[in-house]
């Protein structure tokens, strides 16, 4: 059988740095082809060359045997290739319909046929089982809903090849299942999907074949039915990864932070949540999406209005009504939506690493001390293995996962006492995850307290001391990590679901 898509010998450099070296890829018709590799391996760049966003320095593309080279994304879309980007790039002040048909509005004479546009969107949504009103404005949607709109848009082009670059990073479990149903039906229609993800379980669930890139070079292509997880990891990182988690060397001490009777004012609600964290403890927070985990962190950090709730540090009550106050009390908050709330895209790595901490880099007359900022930034770059030519690179030139590492580094530089980490390893590759776990454990070893929200059960079980399980805004139970397992956590996470079906929004 002939491949539907063939990529041959692609090379690409950015300002003299070669990020793709003679890469090739063959995708068979009607298959889901995973593209994997560490952060910065070149996955998104290769796909952007295909899609006409970047121009490769050399290399050829063939679709159904015909050579092509798209001049821009519009050209790609009109010729059978569509793509959902890792970073959402939507016009949020417009409606869903507008976003989907932007640049190709159905016309009635000289005018845009609003009615046809609406109807077509409804039809598309029905076909793929999305329940949203096409007239809604994007800024009224959650990130995951916006992601679903973007996926619907990619499908609306009747493409032969659809590239999905980390499509599930902000989707709920239900939405991910829905996406997989859509992907399977597209596959049956002969469409090929190029699927980029760092989530191993997804790859083994949905992919037929996998191609691995490492440092911009092609490592190999394997059929999913013939490859093990260990082998795949080894292809990606270039060595055996013996352990996925560093040893838990921290010992929790005295109670450090105590939260009493926390109830938030607006939905999604947190109801009467009380818990404490010890010095040197890593407290995991588990639960389904929408269970109120992020809201707890936001309330503690002073950025979510609460109806009630008292906070104590070392037994002393503290007032936290703004993020400024929270920082003064030694809190740091790594947000879940790093791309939206955390990144200054047109600034360089140094700025992005040190911004949360500027005051400590100013001398007595208020000048910034560049030397110190640069030294600390360089230290972060090497410690977190951030892949970049220099600290002067703009953060937006980094790969998605490497941008995250910069933001994580930023919060570590503020030398916080209590860390609120919301999905800290989302979008991070397997090798770098280990480094981040090690950093978290080191912080706990220094007596800092860590509250870690995560949807990845293995990592909660791998590095926390206790796990607090949220269900529908309430604490369903808190368990010792050593004495629990996935089944118990799942049971707790769904404990209060029957009373209220809204939990998974
Ligand atoms: N516009 C750009 N300017 C300069 N360098 C870039 C640009 N885009 C990407 N790079 C560099 O190319 C390399 C590959 O990046 P790419 O985004 O393709 O990685 P990736 O495999 O998608 O990683 P991730 O899993 O983190 O998304 C990185 O080192 C990145 O810094
Ligand atoms: Mg990428």
Whether residues 232 and 248 fall in one domain: no
Query: What pLDDT is recorded for position 158?
Result: 85
Cβ 169 under 6 angstroms from ligand 1: no
The answer to whether the beta carbons of residues 59 and 23 sit under 8 Å apart is yes
- Average pLDDT score over residue span 189-206: 93
Find tokens 């740095």 and name the residue. Answer: 17
Question: Can you read off the two tokens belonging to residue 21?
Answer: 């070296």
For ligand 1, atom 24, the nearest C-alpha belongs to: 39
Distance 15 CA to ligand 2 centre (A): 19
Instruction: Choose the weakest-confidence range: 317-326, 357-366, 372-381.
Output: 357-366
Q: For residue 277, what pLDDT is reported?
A: 98
Last residue of a domain, one of 391, 414, 437: 414
Nearest CA to ligand 1 atom 4: 397
d(CA 445, CA 280): 6
One domain for residues 368 and 323: no
45 lines ligand 1 (CB under 6 A): yes
Sheet strands (E) in 100-243:
107-108, 111-112, 161-165, 192-196, 209-214, 217-223
Picking from 414, 446, 464, the residue at the C-terminal end of a domain is 414
State which residues form the domain around 252.
243-330+416-505
Cβ-contact 115, 106 below 8 angstroms: no
Domain boundary among 358, 379, 414: 414
The residue contributing the CA closest to ligand 1 atom 18 is 42
Q: Judge whether 193 and 159 are in contact, CB under 8 Å.
A: no
pLDDT of residue 500 exceeding 60, the answer is no
Q: Is the dihedral of CA 279, 381, 84, 24 positive or negative?
A: negative
Model's pTM, two decimal places?
0.83
458 and 409 in a single domain? The answer is no
CATH code assigned at 92: 3.40.50.300
DSSP element (H, E) containing 318? strand 316-318
What is the distance between the alpha carbons of residues 45 and 100, in angstroms, rounded to a whole number? Answer: 24
Whether pLDDT at 380 is above 90 = no
Instruction: Locate all alpha helices (DSSP H) within 355-485, ordered by sequence.
Output: 370-383, 400-413, 430-445, 457-463
Count the residues in the chain. Answer: 505
Question: 280 near 496, Cβ under 8 Å?
Answer: no
> In sequence order, what DSSP letters do the residues of 67-127 get, joined into one string?
EE--SSHHHHHHTTEEEE-SS----TTSBHHHHHHTT---EETTEE-HHHHHHHHHHHHHH
Q: Select from 42, 46, 57, 164 the residue to mutate for testing ligand 1; criterion: most ligand atoms less than 8 Å from CB.
A: 42
Q: Are residues 185 and 203 in the same domain?
A: yes
| Residue 204 in tokens | 């083994």
Task: Based on the fold, state whether residues 254 and 110 are members of the same structural domain.
Answer: no
| Structural domains of the chain, count | 3
pLDDT band (50, 70, 90) for residue 341: low
pLDDT on residue 505: 35
Is 389 found in the same domain as 489? no
Residue 144: predicted pLDDT: 80
Residue 107: the pLDDT is 77
pLDDT at 405 over 90: no
- Per-residue confidence (pLDDT) for residue 315, from 0 to 100: 95
Per-residue model confidence (pLDDT) at position 501: 45
Residues 219 and 347 in one domain: no
Note the pLDDT tens digit of each residue in 423-435: 888 888 888 888 8
Q: How confident is the model at residue 461 (pLDDT cuts 50, 70, 90)?
A: very high
pLDDT tens for 2-21 read 999 999 999 999 988 899 99
The interaxial angle of helices 430-445 and 229-237, nearest 10 deg, is 80
Ligand closest to 387 (CA) is 1
Cβ of 394 below 6 Å from ligand 1? no
Note the pLDDT tens digit of each residue in 238-267: 877 777 899 999 999 999 999 999 999 887
Does the CB atom of residue 352 touch ligand 1 within 6 A?
Answer: no
Q: Rounded CA gap, 318 and 325, in Å?
A: 9
Strands 306-313 and 32-36: unpaired
More confident residue, 209 or 346: 209
Q: Could you read off the pLDDT of 468-490 as tens digits, one per residue?
A: 999 999 999 999 999 999 999 98
Q: Given this model, what pLDDT does residue 338 score?
A: 65
pLDDT-derived band of residue 371, with 50, 70 and 90 as boundaries?
A: confident
The strand pairing partners of 241, in sequence order, are none
Same domain? For 310 and 343 the reply is: no
Percentage of the chain beyond pLDDT 90 is 59
Query: Which of 7, 10, 11, 14 to mutate for ligand 1's pocket (most ligand atoms within 8 Å of CB)?
Result: 14
Predicted confidence (pLDDT) at residue 90 exceeds the cutoff of 80: no
State in Å: Cα 155 to ligand 2 middle: 20
Q: Record the tokens describing residue 497, joined without a space.
A: 């679901």
- Same structural domain for residues 361 and 445? no
19 and 157 fall within a common domain = yes
Same domain? For 340 and 219 the reply is no
Q: Mention every residue, 6+ apart, whose C-beta is less than 8 A from residue 488.
A: 479
Average pLDDT over residues 123-135: 88
pLDDT digits (tens, 9 = 90+) for 319-338: 999 999 999 999 999 887 66
* Tens of pLDDT, residues 14-42: 988 899 999 999 999 999 999 999 999 99
Name the pLDDT band for 504 (thresholds 50, 70, 90).
very low
Please indicate, yes or no, whether residues 291 and 351 belong to a single structural domain of this protein. no
Q: What tokens were used for 56? A: 């490769």
Q: Is the CB of 349 under 6 A from ligand 1?
A: no
Question: From the CA of 151, how far away is ligand 1's center (Å)?
Answer: 22
Does residue 91 or residue 146 have the better pLDDT?
146
Average pLDDT over the chain, rounded to whole? 89
Model confidence at 503, pLDDT cuts 50, 70, 90, reads very low
239 CA distance to ligand 1 middle (Å): 22
Residue 166 zone, left/alpha/beta (φ > 0; ψ -120 to 50; rest) = left
Query: Where residue 498 falls among pLDDT bands split at 50, 70, 90?
Result: low
Angle, alpha carbons 306-312-317 (nearest 5°): 90
């Amino acid at each position: 059988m002939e491949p539907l898509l063939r990529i041959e010998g692609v090379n690409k450099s950015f300002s003299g740095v070669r990020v793709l070296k003679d890469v090739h890829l063959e995708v068979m018709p009607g298959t889901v082809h995973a593209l994997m590799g560490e952060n910065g391996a070149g996955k998104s760049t290769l796909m952007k060359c295909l899609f006409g966003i970047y121009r490769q320095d050399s290399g050829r593309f063939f679709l159904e045997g015909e050579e092509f080279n798209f001049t821009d994304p519009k050209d790609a879309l009109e010729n059978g290739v569509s793509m959902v980007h890792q970073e959402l790039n939507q016009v949020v002040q417009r409606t869903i319909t507008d976003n989907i048909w932007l640049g190709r509005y159905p016309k009635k004479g000289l005018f845009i046929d609003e009615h046809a546009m609406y109807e077509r969107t409804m039809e598309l949504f029905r076909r793929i089982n999305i329940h949203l009103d096409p007239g809604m404005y994007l800024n009224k949607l959650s990130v995951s809903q916006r992601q679903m709109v973007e996926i619907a848009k990619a499908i609306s082009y009747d493409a032969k090849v659809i590239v999905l670059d980390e499509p599930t990073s902000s989707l709920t479990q239900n939405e991910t299942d829905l996406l997989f149903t859509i992907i399977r039906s597209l596959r049956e229609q002969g469409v090929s999907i190029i699927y980029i993800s760092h989530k191993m379980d997804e790859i083994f669930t949905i992919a037929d074949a996998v191609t691995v890139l490492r440092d911009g070079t092609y490592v190999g292509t394997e059929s999913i039915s013939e490859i093990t997880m260990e082998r795949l990891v080894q292809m990606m990182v270039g060595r055996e990864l013996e352990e996925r988690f560093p040893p838990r060397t921290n010992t929790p001490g005295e109670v450090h932070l105590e939260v009493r009777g926390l109830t938030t004012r607006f939905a999604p609600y947190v109801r009467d949540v009380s818990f404490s964290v010890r010095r040197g403890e890593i407290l995991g927070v588990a639960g389904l999406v929408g269970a109120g985990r992020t809201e707890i962190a936001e309330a503690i950090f002073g950025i979510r209005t609460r109806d009630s709730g008292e906070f104590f540090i070392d037994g002393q009550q503290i007032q936290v009504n703004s993020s400024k106050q929270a920082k003064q009390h030694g809190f740091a908050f790594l947000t879940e939506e790093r791309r939206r709330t955390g990144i200054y895209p047109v600034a360089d790595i140094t700025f992005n690493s040190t911004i949360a901490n500027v005051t400590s880099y100013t001398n007595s007359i208020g000048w910034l001390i560049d030397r110190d900022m640069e030294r600390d930034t360089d230290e972060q770059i090497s410690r977190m293995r951030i892949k970049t030519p220099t600290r002067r690179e703009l953060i937006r030139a980094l790969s998605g996962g490497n941008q995250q590492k910069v933001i994580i580094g930023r919060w570590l530089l503020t030398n916080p006492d209590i860390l609120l980490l919301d999905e800290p390893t989302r979008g991070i590759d397997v090798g770098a995850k280990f480094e981040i776990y090690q950093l978290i454990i080191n912080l706990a070893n220094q007596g800092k307290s860590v509250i870690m929200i995560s949807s990845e059960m293995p990592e909660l079980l791998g590095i926390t001391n206790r796990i607090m399980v949220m269900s529908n805004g309430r604490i369903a139970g808190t368990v010792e990590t050593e004495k629990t397992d996935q089944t118990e956590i799942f049971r707790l996470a769904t404990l209060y679901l029957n009373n209220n079906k809204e939990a998974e929004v």
